[in-house]
């Protein structure tokens, strides 16, 4: 019953994984501890009474069982004399059978309840997760199409392999590749992360982080934040994003995974694209644009953001997996938000063309 209730609450986000354990195991633990405590207290009191009984004169040679039998016999002999009869003697076997029957009834009732609870609450969610939301992805991709006109001019001399290797290098910035994986190691590893303290500043999961960074170029940053922005702006990995942005085509399969794939490979064992690392790379590009604005070069900052938007559209158009396409959408959205912030700082919000992009 506790598990069924916990599943129903967890599906609705009321409780977390640890609370499910508490609801399921907690009542049994509480009842066990309570029952055990009562049993120990009972045993101690019986033991004390038994020891006191045996210490009385003339009783020390008798066992408790013998004394109970003598007492029962005397009670039966006096049955017709006493005003109240002795009643039925306790039968341990009846109590044990009744307890066993109660447990069986509980199992018979609990199993259907738990099954219905899981099926009725988790089933629809699993079905929703298992069925790809292709229309939703197409809708997201369509919402960024107005930003496609900001793509930079392509460079035909950049080969698809070079573009794919650039993306793979970006995926491992600040990371050490794990051995035994299907992923290829980066051709140009970067041991230093984009930012001094990843996860502190800037917050890559903040909804308007790119726009806020550009807007704050007018109000200013503290010394630690400014140092983080300049580290990202001067990071040597920025050149990889430039290659990706100007590529006409990109081979994102043979430059990422070891091909041909083994026969035992499935979607469950294939390494997923490095979504977080690519998002960090995109935010580092926004940081570079913010530094360029603060250094008095807003035109170069705009070109930097156009480069970010171009790299995002390459993943949207040529990404081999749905996650790659979604990463491209996120990158384009970051670039578009930062571009809107740049236009606001430069006072170009009155232009309907740019206002439409921002909306």
Window from 74-78, 204-208, 227-231, 278-282 with minimum mean pLDDT:
74-78
Task: Check whether 81 has a pLDDT greater than 70.
Answer: no
Whether 83 maps to a domain, the answer reads no
Do 180 and 111 fall into the same domain?
A: no
Range of the domain at 266: 138-358
Give the residues across from 257 on adjacent strands: 183
Task: Check whether 44 has a pLDDT greater than 90.
Answer: yes
Do 62 and 210 fall into the same domain?
A: no
At 8-33, the pLDDT tens digits run 788 777 888 888 888 888 888 899 99
Task: Tell me the pLDDT band of 108, cut-offs 50, 70 and 90.
Answer: confident
Nearest alpha-carbon partner for 328 in 270, 272, 267, 282: 282
Do 94 and 238 fall into the same domain?
A: no
Higher pLDDT, 261 or 44: 44
Do 122 and 150 fall into the same domain?
A: no
Whether 157 maps to a domain, the answer reads yes
Task: Check whether 229 has a pLDDT greater than 50.
Answer: yes
The DSSP annotation for 292-312 comes to HHHTT-HHHHHHHHHHHHHHH
Whether 287 maps to a domain, the answer reads yes
Whether 81 maps to a domain, the answer reads no
At 94-104, the pLDDT tens digits run 888 888 898 88
At 181-208, the pLDDT tens digits run 788 888 898 888 998 887 778 888 788 8
Q: What is the pLDDT of residue 320?
A: 87
Angle at 171 between CA 165 and CA 177, to 5 degrees: 95
Do 162 and 251 fall into the same domain?
A: yes
Nearest alpha-carbon partner for 282 in 179, 202, 225: 202
Residues in the chain: 359
Task: Check whether 358 has a pLDDT greater than 70.
Answer: no
Give the residues across from 183 on adjacent strands: 257
At 281-302, the pLDDT tens digits run 999 999 999 999 998 888 899 9
Q: Do 132 and 290 contact (CB within 8 A), yes or no?
A: no
Q: Do 278 and 175 contact (CB within 8 A), yes or no?
A: no
Angle at 290 between CA 289 and CA 293, to 5 degrees: 90
Task: Check whether 359 has a pLDDT greater than 50.
Answer: no
Do 98 and 192 fall into the same domain?
A: no
Q: Is the pTM of this model over 0.85?
A: no
Do 211 and 343 fall into the same domain?
A: yes
Arithmetic mean of pLDDT, 118-142: 67
Q: What is the mean pLDDT of the chain?
A: 82
Do 251 and 298 fall into the same domain?
A: yes
Letter string b/e over residues 220-230, b meaning 16 or more CB atoms within 10 A of that residue's CB: ebeeebeebbb
- Cβ burial, residue 235 (10 Å; 0-12/13-18/19+): buried
Q: What is the pLDDT of residue 355?
A: 46
Whether 84 maps to a domain, the answer reads no
Do 7 and 142 fall into the same domain?
A: no
Rounded Cα distance between 287 and 241, Å, is 13
Rounded Cα distance between 12 and 22, Å, is 17
Residue 15: count other Cβ atoms within 10 Å of its Cβ. Answer: 17
Task: Check whether 266 has a pLDDT greater than 80.
Answer: no
Arithmetic mean of pLDDT, 198-219: 83
At 341-354, the pLDDT tens digits run 888 888 776 554 54
Domain count for the chain = 2
Rounded Cα distance between 187 and 189, Å, is 6
Q: What is the pLDDT of residue 356?
A: 47
Q: What is the pLDDT of residue 64?
A: 65
Q: Do 163 and 317 contact (CB within 8 A), yes or no?
A: no
Task: Check whether 48 has a pLDDT greater than 90.
Answer: no
Helix 322-345 with 275-294: angle, nearest 10 deg? 20
Decide: helix, strand or coil at residue 355.
helix
Range ranked top by mean pLDDT from 130-144, 323-337, 343-357: 323-337
Looking at residue 197, what DSSP letter applies? S
Rounded Cα distance between 83 and 75, Å, is 12
Q: What is the pLDDT of residue 235?
A: 92
Give the residues across from 334 on adjacent strands: none
Do 281 and 301 fall into the same domain?
A: yes
């Amino acid at each position: 019953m506790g598990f069924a209730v916990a599943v129903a609450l967890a599906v609705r986000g009321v409780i977390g994984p640890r609370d499910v354990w508490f609801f399921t195991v907690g009542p049994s633990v509480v009842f066990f501890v309570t029952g055990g405590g009562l049993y120990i207290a009972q045993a101690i009191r019986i033991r004390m009474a038994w020891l006191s009984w045996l210490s009385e004169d003339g009783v020390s040679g008798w066992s408790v069982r013998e004394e109970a039998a003598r007492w029962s016999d005397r009670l039966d002999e006096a049955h017709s004399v006493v005003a109240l009869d002795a009643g039925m003697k306790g039968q341990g076997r009846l109590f044990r059978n009744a307890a066993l029957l109660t447990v069986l009834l509980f199992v018979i009732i609990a199993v259907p309840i738990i099954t219905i609870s899981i099926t009725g609450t988790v089933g629809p969610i699993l079905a929703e997760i298992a069925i790809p939301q292709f229309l939703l992805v197409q809708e997201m991709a369509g919402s960024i199409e107005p930003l496609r006109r900001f793509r930079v001019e392509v460079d035909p001399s950049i080969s698809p392999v070079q573009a794919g290797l650039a993306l793979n290098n970006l995926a491992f910035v600040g990371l050490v590749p794990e051995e035994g994986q299907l992923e290829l190691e980066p051709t140009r590893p970067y041991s230093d992360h984009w930012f001094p303290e990843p996860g502190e500043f800037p917050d890559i999961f903040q909804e308007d982080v790119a726009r806020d960074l550009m807007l704050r170029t007018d109000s200013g940053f503290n010394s630690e934040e400014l140092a983080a922005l300049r580290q990202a702006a001067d990071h040597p990995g920025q050149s990889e994003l430039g290659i990706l942005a100007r590529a006409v085509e990109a081979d994102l399969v043979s430059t990422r995974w070891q091909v041909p794939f083994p026969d035992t490979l499935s979607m469950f064992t294939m390494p997923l694209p490095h979504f977080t690392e690519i998002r960090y790379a995109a935010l580092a590009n926004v940081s570079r644009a913010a530094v360029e604005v603060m250094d008095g070069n807003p035109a170069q900052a705009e070109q930097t953001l156009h480069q970010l938007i171009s790299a995002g559209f390459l993943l949207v158009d040529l990404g081999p997996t749905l996650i790659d396409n979604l990463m491209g959408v996120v990158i384009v959205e970051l670039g578009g938000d930062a571009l809107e912030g740049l236009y606001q700082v430069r006072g170009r919000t009155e232009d309907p063309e740019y206002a439409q992009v921002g909306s």
